Amino acid sequence: MFVGGGNGLRTGPDRISELLDISAGSLVSVVGCGGKTSLIELIATQNSDKKVLVSTTTKTFPMISDKVILCDTLKSSKEHKPQTGIQCLGQYNERNKKLEALPEFILVDMIPHYDVVLMEADGSRWLPCKGWRDNEPVVHYFSTQTVGVVTMDAHGKPATGDIVHHLLEFLALTGLREGDIITEQVLEDMVCLPRGMFKGCVGELFLLVNKVENEETAAIAETFLKSIEAKYPSRFKRLIYGSVHRDEWHEV
């Protein structure tokens, strides 16, 4: 286990839910690149003693386990009766094996019947960087929290299509040329510029650096978040780094 700075390591089965202020009535939209689906699954599992709805505003692979009720069509989602546990609702696309978004009016009707709603509201095709198009991310106006997920995986690597989803938009956002090296400042711009990761997001904003598995990545993540804290002192409710895989977290 790495040991970092900040306000100290927080571990345990419910800690990330506490850090993200998950409570009855939360509707959490998750954006960014670097572990959105895994984070949502972790939060859902930690709150499985409640009525939890997991869905998407874009496309996502369905959450499947013995703890999950999967409703994979519009009809079954509309007819589903919320109950304690995790319900994963959407429209199943047989071709790509993904759940796709439910119509907003159906979500509006469903939400009051759940304790916690978790929405995957962005896509990055498993790449560590992204440029956002005009209609992205897709965050519903009734979200109470938006969590942005980022990793340091692209740090020191060239800005190419193998690293960046929507490369042209990313280059326009950051001012890089294709092949230029991605620095901490570039990642900061990707997250914080007006047309970056949190474009159009609502509710309380949280920034989470994932895939921090050792002292080296912890030092980079802490420096990265402290720079953002200094430049954007009132923008984020909480700045967090750690590992979804380990469920270990630091707060800056």
pLDDT at residue 69 in the model: 81
Mean pLDDT along residues 156-163? 97
pTM: 0.92
Residue of higher predicted confidence among 2 and 192: 192
Angle between helices 184-192 and 215-231 (to 10 degrees): 50
pLDDT at residue 20 in the model: 97
Q: Which amino acid is at 37?
A: T
180 is written with which tokens? 């230029």
User: Where are the strands (E) in the chain, listed by range?
Assistant: 9-11, 26-32, 51-56, 59-60, 68-71, 85-89, 91-93, 98-100, 116-120, 129-130, 145-150, 164-165, 204-209, 238-243, 248-251
Q: Which amino acid is at 251?
A: E
Question: What is the pLDDT confidence band of residue 62, given thresholds at 50, 70 and 90?
Answer: confident
Distance (Å, whole) CA 236 – CA 228: 9
pLDDT at residue 12 in the model: 45
DSSP state of 212: -
Angle at 146 between CA 144 and CA 149, to 5 degrees: 160
The answer on pLDDT for 201 being more than 70 is: yes
- How many C-alpha atoms does 7 have within 13 Å on its Cβ side? 11
Nearest to 100 by CA among 70, 60, 135, 140: 60
117 is written with which tokens? 């709603």
Q: Is residue 69 within 8 Å of residue 77, measured between CB atoms? A: no
The answer on pLDDT for 248 being more than 60 is: yes
Contacts for 36 with CB less than 8 Å, ≥ 6 apart: 30, 120, 122, 124, 149
The answer on pLDDT for 117 being more than 60 is: yes
The answer on pLDDT for 6 being more than 70 is: no
Give the CA distances from residue 22 to residues 4, 144, 145, 233, in Å, rounded to whole numbers and listed in that order. 24, 10, 9, 22
Nearest to 195 by CA among 135, 123, 132: 132
Q: Are strands 51-56 and 116-120 parallel, antiparallel or unpaired?
A: parallel
Q: Is the dihedral of CA 67, 41, 100, 92 positive or negative?
A: negative
Question: What is the pLDDT confidence band of residue 200, given thresholds at 50, 70 and 90?
Answer: very high
